[in-house]
A and B are shown apart, each in its own frame.
Chain A
């Protein structure tokens, strides 16, 4: 893009400066016309992700393989690795759950439903995201499959004895009383009666720690939620789309502790999960949540997230997942991690660094987009096979046996 004078600044982000000069605040975000068919989250340059750069390192001496050999009376193979895990009170055939997608338009409608059905078939726990009720509705949505209950029922229709559904609520969702709606709904009763319903308090998220939810809405949808959210005409006063901003919610240790206790008090039959952003005090926040009775704490690394975020936040704000895990350390309580998960080695490294399980977000959406009937099931099958091979190679046969000794960081 040239200017009238032909001025050039070769070692400077000239194009980005000119874009801001041309379009104003819209340039703080990714292009809004990509909204609805693109999932976001941080771009990571090759070698820049600490977890990607780490290596899993098998030992020569494998005392646990000897234990397994004695058990089996034959040499064990990767087929003998047991992946079954308990995640936040729910049994899962492997240490993986389906992350919440939020109200991002990509995840509503067919993709969200397909992901729910396949997660149910796999028997892995499924989180359903914030803002779905205020934006899309609870029971009746403009498109019925977009509603929260639609996704819960799609999951429940496929799931066997395991798994469970986790319903998120953020500060704005509290206005819609999402948890109250679900807790007393006959449509969710089978999950509640079988101990497979959890509520997740959303304290923050990976892609934009410190900010609330952000979605791009058309003007009609924005008008419906204008009394609950700040609506920003960022893409032009007369443009077809506007930015809807949620608040991050105010938390202190006391507020978090009592919100978790109140979940326990008000919904005694539901499990309690807490989702934290990649914040500098993530370790203290985990401790408060667990002490107050959280069954699981989910930490989203800065590289996580499917939804809309300012580009500066995607690249520069929040701790990477590796640093979050390092700060938290291995704990006796359930710690779940998410951020760029899609294959077995990254999952194994996170488990070795202290996570109990990991969430699939963007990968799950891409998989169901590739094949709405079996895409996620196949992706998870690949992941399970890789995990079995890796854990076996490390001389171990259960998920919880992975430890920091299994991972090597360059320069360590």
Chain B
């Protein structure tokens, strides 16, 4: 049965699951997402990664999420959190295996104004990767390889769905053979200021700015070396350039914006405690994590690639909620 009023790419969020799930558009998008996951697992299997099932709850979760609220769970009288990201567990996982990935569900109650950015969901998934002993450059290379592999797979295998969605595949295949560009945070701030955007040099590249840079780009590119004070305590601070983090975002072209954040990680106990204070955290809250770190964890680097955002980019969708079977927009009460 063809859904009469969901045959076009529509930015109105669905009001009922039937309307959304019976739409040919949704079905095509979810098939592409399925292809992305299949290709992702193939990619990592060929490189000796172990897929771990991600944690859903824990005594603490990732605090390094811009302005979003965590969800409390009453765990037998103890306050637990739904995962905003599994970063702390990814570092722990390296005690078992050197190369791991999750396909992890995350819940972040983002500020209300993000409901209209086309790129925020309160519930979403990440392809979460962590590699022991890796540098920021190493994981950027893995990420670029993953993007190329997945995009190549979808373009080759899912032309029917891409055609139904009207996706211009030339925009996807044009960059496949070229290295991804890199721009430092400092240069990104300068470029934005040149374009008349008042970007704070000490802060995260804001959403509007990211979109500006994304529109200017013809291929995915990295923004690297964010300033301390813009990210969580676990992004490693450069020893040669104090105040600069050894981290990166991957920005999609065509205005789709950020797909992924990654970094080398802090792994030394005293550094982590100091960084926790700099990010306003109370170390007492992170008891299990700090005990583990004190006993020693591997140096590592990793990233979290937003699955719905990646799907949106590959499928060429106006809004990220279209890449979820059960979309939850910030502040919008929905199934």
Contact = CB atoms under 8 A, between A and B. Distances in A.
A386 to B, nearest CB: 39
A184 B202 contact: no
B69 A184 contact: yes
Contact of A181 (B69, B112, B200): B69
Contacts of B282: 171-172, 174-175, 247, 249
Nearest to A250: B277
B67 interface: yes
Contact of B278 (A201, A258, A267, A269): A258
B203 A264 contact: yes
Interface of chain B, helix or strand or loop or mixed?
loop
Given A180-B68, A262-B280, A255 B204 contact: no
Contacts of A265: 66, 200, 202-204, 229-230
B228 interface: yes
B110 interface: yes
Contacts of A34: none
Contacts of B85: none
A247 B285 CA distance: 13
A259 B230 contact: no
B278 A293 contact: no
Contacts of A249: 277, 282
A265 B229 CA distance: 7
Given A261-B203, A265-B66, A184 B110 contact: yes
B302 interface: no
Contacts of B206: 268
A183 B69 contact: yes
B34 interface: no
B279 A258 contact: yes
Contacts of B202: 261, 264-265, 292-293
Nearest to B60: A175
Contacts of B279: 258-259, 262
A189 B109 CA distance: 14
B218 to A, nearest CB: 29
Given A189-B112, A265-B229, A265-B230, A183 B278 contact: no
A292 B278 CA distance: 13
B230 A261 contact: yes
A251 B284 CA distance: 16
Nearest to A259: B280
A201 B277 CA distance: 13
A181 B70 CA distance: 8
Interface string A257-294: 11101111111110000000000000000000000110
B280 A264 contact: no
Contacts of A247: 282
B66 A184 contact: no
B331 interface: yes
B111 interface: yes
A184 B280 contact: no
Interface in A151-179: 169, 171-172, 174-175, 177
A91 B278 CA distance: 31
B242 to A, nearest CB: 9
Contact of A257 (B204, B229, B274): B229
Interface in B105-138: 109-113
A172 B283 CA distance: 10
30 contacts: A174-B280, A174-B281, A175-B282, A175-B284, A180-B67, A180-B68, A180-B70, A181-B69, A183-B67, A184-B67, A184-B112, A184-B330, A186-B331, A201-B280, A247-B282, A249-B277, A249-B282, A250-B277, A258-B228, A258-B229, A258-B278, A261-B203, A261-B229, A262-B280, A263-B280, A264-B200, A264-B203, A268-B67, A269-B113, A293-B202
Interface of B: 66-70, 109-113, 200, 202-204, 206, 227-230, 274, 277-282, 284-285, 330-331
Given A262-B278, A265-B204, A268-B200, 8 more contacts: A175-B282, A201-B280, A249-B282, A255-B278, A261-B202, A261-B230, A262-B280, A265-B229
Interface of A: 169, 171-172, 174-175, 177, 180-181, 183-184, 186, 189, 201, 247, 249-251, 254-255, 257-259, 261-269, 292-293
